[in-house]
Amino acid sequence: MNNILEMRNITKAFGGVQALTNVHLEVAEGEIHALMGENGAGKSTLMNILTGVVPMDAGKIVFDKKTYVHPTIRQMEAAGIAFVHQEINVINDLMVYENIFLNREIQNKWHVLEKKRMIRETEELFERLGVKIDPMQMVSELKTSEKQLLEICRSLHANAKLLILDEPTTALSNEEISHLFGILKKMKQEGTSFIFISHKMPEIFEIADRYTVFRNGWFVSSGPISETTPQKMTTDMIGVEYAEKDVYHPRKLGDIVLRLNRLSGHGFSDVDLEVRKGEIVAFTGLAGCGASELMQTMFGVLPIENGFVEVAGKKINGRIYQFMRNRVAMLPSNRKENSVIPDMTILENMQIAEHRLSRKKPVIFRREEEKKYEELKEMLHIKAEDPDAPINSLSGGNQQKVFLAKWLNTDADVLLFDNPTQGVDVGAKAEIYQLILEFAEEGKTVLINTLEIPEIKKVSDRCVVFYEGRVAKVFEHEEIDEKTVMMYSTNAVKAAGGNKNGK
Amino acid sequence: MANNKTNNKSGVNIGKMLMQSWSRYSYVFVLLIILIVYAVTINAGGNNFNSRHITGILSSQNTVIVGTIAIGMALVIITGQIDLSVGSALVLCTGVTILVYNMTNGNVFLMILTALAAGLLCGLINGLLVGLAKMPPFIVTLGTMLIYRSLTLSFVREIDPAYTGSSSSQFSMLSDMASYDFLRMKFGTGSLKIGNIQLPYITFLFVALTIFFIFMMSKTKFGKSIYAVGSNEKTSHLTGISVQWVKVSVFVITGLLVGVASFIQACKIGNVTPASSGTSYEMYAIAAVVLGGVNMAGGRGKILGVFFGALSYTTINLIIVSIPQLSTDIQDTFQGIVLIAVIFIQTVGPVIREKFVELRKRAQNTDK
């Protein structure tokens, strides 16, 4: 089979950080090629290079027998490469056929749109692919899965020869996934090639023909999917374990302070969990596995649909303020959007949550606040000079410490940390985890939601793995092992089991 | 050589300090520049610029009435919203206030209570629709702007002139009440003489309100939550702040301030004409807020700035009035130009500064 795409010796650095080093990728005509790797492995950088969004430092791309060294977005689009992003990119206020023909509308010689012809062509396209959508429907009325199909059809209609699908199944149900896969197979037979990015092992083994694995910006392995196993692929992705100084040591835990009873909400269901005073519990799983939503529900951000949350023997149901009064705190993910108040100073950002709890005393006393600030600054090793400097004058890691301080300042006993090391450098990361251990030592109960399994291994007493909104497995500290956790969070366990049954 | 170096350094420091104080207190500089222009035009006209002109600025209705409303407008804008209904609400509140005054035989206590209650109600309606029903503030207050004025217009014609105090579609305070002299002559238009300067009594009220709101915005937890909501609504919500009630409350406070302003209007002017009084006051209030350095995008701004902004705005008007060759019709053109110029400096200034910093960095790099 001929290769439609060859990417050779691609190298790319952002500032001083090496994102890709000498990687290869080959995709044959009419195949579905799985591109695998952990977050930060370099997949999206490579795809951005391929689509001309990011220029490469070295290497070359051969696509459809033409060589590109400095590709532009327009060139690659014209050559027939289409990127279907994870966030669906269709226009809700237009009809289906209008989306298909967006920017490529058919006009007659008077520059009037030929509506009938466009609708007919859309119908033909859908029939060929087995897509059951009415071309005249408003896109806003479509289901998520239909929007996804629409986007794929649009790329195909634009004569795309290679489609990049970035985690196309995260928003789809199992039934919708198999429908999508049916269509992909049909398109494959017509000669279209796919680069398929997904973290879900069972899917990869169902749909892909070949695979390529990256780790930390390096090429690791490649080959036909039939010659590998989910276990081997997981090892390729995370690498052979490296030894590290273990800072963890078992602590004496207190009584149960937090209880989830058959808790259900947006994106997760039937979660039972009991956490003791002073315990550190980690949540992990793929993006969209429901762990972040669970954490938000435990803080009143999202509503409880069923079951209950009990803190210190008291059922809590209500808004964020209720949870705060019962000494729960949550450090949300996505710091810039959910934590930073950009127009405020470091001191103000640190005090704002405590203000809410002490609003019965409405006046602010500067001297008291400064004292508190100095204490917290010392305790968390925050590198800041002036409490009145803007929050954005600090580095990411220091900002995150200010927000840790903001919640410690509320005297919370249960601390929920949603992806606390997102966007902070390696040094600050280690410091934050060291702090988490110190909090637990002082009797705080800490829950962390993170994708970084080595970090979990360092700090947590237990690790709860989520898959599609349900608890897939709970590990004790000794049992936490990157490979096993990864297998459960990608449901590779099931895929491996399925393979065995098949044989 | 060493001397040279230190000199250089102190020069840089003074420049830096000037730069900093300019960006922090730009509203003071704006007022100073406008005052200088005012003095120059007065002197060019053959008169001497003196304390009477300062008194004129302080007692102008553009300072005390628009300024009082502008404080409320600033709070609304700091939360990232807008209130277009304040001018109409002022007319409605003043009308009701004068009506109650005339009907209760000049009861000052009831008059003040009415002014505040009417203002509160006007603000509460805006607040509930915007904060709780989550409708866009621009549309809601555009609607209430039309409603408040037309209500006043239509009921002024229906009411017995014995109560409205005038037969010409106007609310006017009846001068035969016992408290009339005190309210109008003493409080409304009188002034305290300190040395050479006459300080109008109503200006003290405006200054007192300014001080109170400076305190509220910088020294109370409620004030901080207003800034927080304007700066990052999502974070505020995730910090347990009730974003919707903060939004409702700034509209209610604005309403109360409109109530105070309507009491001032009654005492200072003595009447209100629903068809023409208070037109475009919402725009004047926004102008004062902007001249005071408050960011229209929300999250940033000082009440002290609004105080200076109101004075600047008044002075701009007085400059135009003091040039006899200019008709008053052209007034809004000049106001518009000054407003755009100030905003231009505010928005383009930082961009230019950044460019300079970048250029300097590049120059340093090549030096190395």
- Hey, what amino acid is at B134? K
pLDDT in tens, B218-261: 999 999 999 999 999 999 999 999 999 999 999 999 999 999 99
Would you state the pLDDT for residue B365?
A: 55
Please tell me which residue, B3 or A439, carries the higher pLDDT value.
A439
Strand pairing class (B197-200; B191-194):
antiparallel
Q: How many CB atoms lie within 10 A of CB A290?
A: 24
A3-238 belongs to CATH 1.10.1300.10: no
**Residue B238 and residue A363: Cβ atoms within 8 Å?**
no
Count of pairs with CB atoms under 8 A, one residue in A, one in B? 78
Interface residue of A321, A344, A366 to substitute, partner B, most B CBs within 10 Å: A344
Interface residue of B231, B238, B242, B245 to substitute, partner A, most A CBs within 10 Å: B238
Is the confidence at residue A244, as pLDDT, over 60?
no
pLDDT in tens, B320-358: 888 878 777 787 788 788 878 877 877 787 778 777 776
- At B361, is the pLDDT very low, low, confident or very high (cuts 50, 70, 90)? low
What residue ranges do the domains of chain A occupy?
3-238, 256-337+413-496
Out of B220, B221, B240, the one facing A321 most closely (by C-beta) is B240
Domain A256-337+413-496 homologous superfamily, CATH:
P-loop containing nucleotide triphosphate hydrolases (3.40.50.300)
**What DSSP state is assigned to residue A389?**
S
Out of B224, B237, B238, the one facing A355 most closely (by C-beta) is B224
- At A326, is the pLDDT very low, low, confident or very high (cuts 50, 70, 90)? very high
**Residue A363 and residue B220: Cβ atoms within 8 Å?**
yes
Out of A343, A357, A359, the one facing B231 most closely (by C-beta) is A343
Would you state the pLDDT for residue B353?
A: 76
Would you state the pLDDT for residue B118?
A: 97
pLDDT in tens, A155-180: 888 888 999 998 888 777 777 888 88
Would you state the pLDDT for residue A143?
A: 84
Class of domain B31-38+53-347: mainly alpha
CB neighbour class for B307 (10 Å; exposed up to 12, middle 13-18, buried from 19): buried
Would you state the pLDDT for residue B304?
A: 96
Which chain A residues touch B234 with a CB distance below 8 Å?
Answer: 337-338
- Looking up tokens 């990411």 gives A396
Is the confidence at residue A395, as pLDDT, over 80?
no
pLDDT in tens, A336-375: 889 999 999 999 999 999 999 998 999 999 999 999 999 9
- At A495, is the pLDDT very low, low, confident or very high (cuts 50, 70, 90)? low
Is the confidence at residue A289, as pLDDT, over 60?
yes
Q: Which residues pair with A33 in a beta bridge?
A: A195, A210
Which chain B residues touch A359 with a CB distance below 8 Å?
Answer: 221-222
What residue ranges do the domains of chain B occupy?
31-38+53-347
pTM: 0.78
pLDDT in tens, A104-140: 888 888 888 889 999 999 999 888 888 889 999 999 8
pLDDT in tens, B124-180: 999 999 999 999 999 999 999 999 999 999 988 888 888 888 888 899 998 888 888
Would you state the pLDDT for residue A497?
A: 56
pLDDT in tens, A60-107: 999 999 999 889 988 998 899 999 887 778 898 999 999 999 888 888
Instruction: Assess contact for A33 and A212: CB atoms under 8 A.
Output: yes
Beta strands in chain B (DSSP E): 171-172, 191-194, 197-200, 271-272
Percentage of chain A lying above the pLDDT 90 cut: 50
> By the CB < 8 Å criterion, does A342 face chain B?
yes
- Cα B97 to chain centroid, rounded: 21
- Cα A318 to chain centroid, rounded: 28
> By the CB < 8 Å criterion, does A367 face chain B?
no
Residues A285, A288, A291, A295: is their CA dihedral positive or negative?
Answer: positive
Would you state the pLDDT for residue B10?
A: 55
